[in-house]
Amino acid sequence: MPRAPITLPPLLRQFLVARPFAMIPSLTSDGMVLVIKAADADVESCRGSMPVMVRYELHQTRHGPLIRLLLVVQDQPESHLTFETFCNVQDASQLDEWRDLLSRSYLRVLFYDSQLTHRFSKRVTQPVDQAARDLLPQARRLVALCDPRDLDFDKAKEQVMAENPL
């Protein structure tokens, strides 16, 4: 257990209760963090020092563009845990949050178990990647090219998840 467990805000807790597995950005007084909820054994397998890959992807769908963040924890040589979250580039507040994520040299990741108990936190180095930072303006340009009637973030996310399973 962490020395000072971090309690989830009520709305985030409510969102995560029904989900067995999730990663979601959350704004704190220190900037953005990634909150991960997973099965107890999966959370424990992420404890300690191990390679973690961070990748940002821009996806154009028939329902508009979105950005996916993948966090791949190489907890075992023959397998790994992959977490994903998405940015709705039509939402100005999400764009600001993701600008913060992309500007950091490391990501703060908070791990919660199935009971939403904070187990530990981890700093994950993210390389300075100008191509990743350019994804937000690229996505905004793509939104401008879309017919507003076609834009639907939830359907775009469903399409990306179906075409790119973890």
Residue 105 tokens read as 């040299």
- The rounded percent of the chain whose pLDDT value lies above 70 is 98
Q: How far apart are CA 128 and CA 133, in angstroms?
A: 9
Q: How far apart are CA 36 and CA 121, in angstroms?
A: 10
Which of 1-15, 100-114, 116-130 is the least confident region? 1-15
Residue 94 domain-assigned (yes or no): yes
pLDDT of residue 1: 45
Residue 112 tokens read as 């919660």
Residue 3 domain-assigned (yes or no): no
**Phi and psi at residue 51, to the nearest 5°:** -65, 140
Residue 165 domain-assigned (yes or no): no
What is the rounded average pLDDT for all residues in the chain? 92
Average pLDDT over residues 27-54: 92
Residue 1 domain-assigned (yes or no): no
Average pLDDT over residues 47-65: 94
Average pLDDT over residues 16-23: 95
Residue 56 domain-assigned (yes or no): yes
Residue 2 domain-assigned (yes or no): no
Residue 151 domain-assigned (yes or no): yes
Per the DSSP assignment, residues forming a β-bridge with 111 are: 36, 120
Average pLDDT over residues 74-84: 87
pTM to 2 decimal places: 0.91
Number of domains in the chain: 1
Residue 136 domain-assigned (yes or no): yes
Asked if pLDDT for residue 109 goes beyond 70, the answer is yes
Band (87; pLDDT cuts 50, 70, 90): very high
Evaluate whether 126 touches 104 at the Cβ level (below 8 Å).
yes
Q: Which residue has the tokens 């107890």?
A: 40
Range of 65's domain?
Answer: 10-158
pLDDT per position as a tens digit, 118-161: 999 999 999 878 888 899 999 999 999 999 999 999 999 999 99
